[in-house]
Structure 1
Amino acid sequence: MPLTAAAILTALTGAYRLARFDRSGMDVIDRTPEGALASFYAAVVVLPGYALLLAIRLWDQVGDTPLLQVLTVESIAYVVSWTAFPLALHRIALLMGKAERYPGAVAAYNWSSVIQMTVYLPVMVLSATGLLPAFLAEGLVFGVMMAMLTYQWFVLRTALDLSGLAAAALVMVDLFLSATITDFADGLL
């Protein structure tokens, strides 16, 4: 069942509150199993920005690779990247005794991706334009990446009611999975 615009805006309001380190953001995110499943619509919202980031990243790398191959590989990688961490998190949440918090964590994690893309995309586009000196562009990208990792840490810590160290470990798991998927997909191009 497609989400309504109002439901999406409500979820994004919660994700925005979490981005401001306001734990009450979890109160407006649908933390039911249905809400967790519906939160994968965030992948559709993020897709145009992701496609632009992908074009920027791969522009000089794909060379003579057929467009159909690039689209196929990167489409599969996109789906895998949206499902790998939630699947891993399911097992981890069970092992940590946090299974009841898992749906809310997935919903918050997925909707937070929209906020992250909203911040990250303009910085990457600006960096790619060459308008800024390289050191400044790299510093800006690094700073935004650190802010996004901190945001993820807060979302996971809040949604699962974890210690800071446990939430940081989950962020590292997510980074590892993302890097592995990206490297594997790039190797197929």
Structure 2
Amino acid sequence: MVSLREITSSLYGAYMLARRNPDALSYFNISTEGFYHSFAAMLLAVPLFIFENAIDYKSIGTETSLISFLFLLCFALWISWGAYLAVMAILARFMGFSDRYSVFVIVYNWVQLALIIVWFPLSIIASGILPVELASGINLVFIVITYAYLWYIIRVTLNVTGGIAVGFAFIEFLVVILIQATFADWLFTAAS
């Protein structure tokens, strides 16, 4: 079971990576045990993810019930998260970086939790206080920063070129879009 110390250390490591600190990886548990512990981030992200989307639910035009909506969103989150890691596992094997794949997974998992933690208050402020255009702008800026951060994480953990890192970050974008499109009909049902 993952300890509170490992969680906080990993989240601090995510912060240090964002600051491009060369010692940032030392805050993560880079071991086989740490690899499995990092998947706790998927569970820890759920309460914030649910709360944030429950707040946004009223402004979304859907006839899907709140419980079904939140369940489907969480399921889509886990599928896209896991699908990206599965794609990267296949690429790791065929592109010769399988020895660094576990480090990438550990960091990626904890960084995803860190990003959800950072986005949580921003989303509440943006959707509850700011005009729609400004909130959309903040959302777009956050997404761009997130992918720049992912690019950096890929470079650091997998030790690949900037161009390859761009490709791997774009694959994550495609996976997320594909999963969202798959779930869109269930999430955004209209009244008949």
| Fold conserved between structures, TM > 0.5 | yes
**Deviation larger for 28-37 or 86-95:** 28-37
The aligned counterpart of 1:144 is 142
Would you say the 8 A contact 1:31–1:105 is kept in 2?
A: no
The aligned counterpart of 2:190 is none
Mark the CA change 1:62 to 1:177 in structure 2 (over 3 Å): closer, same or farther. Answer: same
Matches of 1:75 and 1:145, distance apart in 2:
19
The aligned counterpart of 2:177 is 179
Kindly report which structure 2 residues correspond to 1:157-172, keeping only aligned pairs within 5 A, or say none.
Answer: 157-172=155-170
> What is the CA distance between 1:72 and its match in structure 2?
4.3
Matches of 1:71 and 1:133, distance apart in 2:
24
Secondary structure of the corresponding residue to residue 115 of structure 2: helix
Matches of 2:104 and 2:115, distance apart in 1:
16
Secondary structure of the corresponding residue to residue 142 of structure 1: helix
Matches of 2:171 and 2:58, distance apart in 1:
28
Would you say the 8 A contact 2:49–2:74 is kept in 1?
A: no
> What is the CA distance between 1:21 and its match in structure 2?
1.5
Would you say the 8 A contact 2:64–2:186 is kept in 1?
A: no
The aligned counterpart of 2:54 is 55
> What is the CA distance between 1:60 and its match in structure 2?
4.2
> What is the CA distance between 1:55 and its match in structure 2?
2.6
Q: Which amino acid aligns with 2:102?
A: P
The aligned counterpart of 2:78 is 79
Matched, 1:112 2:123: no
Mark the CA change 1:91 to 1:57 in structure 2 (over 3 Å): closer, same or farther. Answer: farther
Q: Can you list the C-alpha shifts for 1:4-57, whole angstroms capped at 9, x where unaligned?
A: 111111211211111111232112212223322210111122112211333345
Matches of 2:114 and 2:74, distance apart in 1:
21
> What is the CA distance between 1:119 and its match in structure 2?
2.1
Please give the TM-score of this superposition, normalised by the length of structure 2.
0.87
**Deviation larger for 26-35 or 93-102:** 26-35
Q: Which amino acid aligns with 1:172?
A: F
RMSD (Å), alpha carbons? 2.0
Identical positions, percent = 25
**Deviation larger for 143-152 or 84-93:** 143-152
The aligned counterpart of 1:38 is 37
Matches of 2:176 and 2:87, distance apart in 1:
12
Uncovered stretches (5+) of structure 1, i.e. residues with no partner: none
Kindly report which structure 2 residues correspond to 1:6-45, keeping only aligned pairs within 5 A, or say none.
Answer: 6-45=5-44
Q: Can you list the C-alpha shifts for 1:106-134, whole angstroms capped at 9, x where unaligned?
A: 000010112212222222211111x3234
Matches of 2:181 and 2:148, distance apart in 1:
23
**Deviation larger for 132-141 or 87-96:** 132-141
Q: Can you list the C-alpha shifts for 1:49-86, whole angstroms capped at 9, x where unaligned?
A: 21133334543446432455435433432321231111
Please give the TM-score of this superposition, normalised by the length of structure 1.
0.88
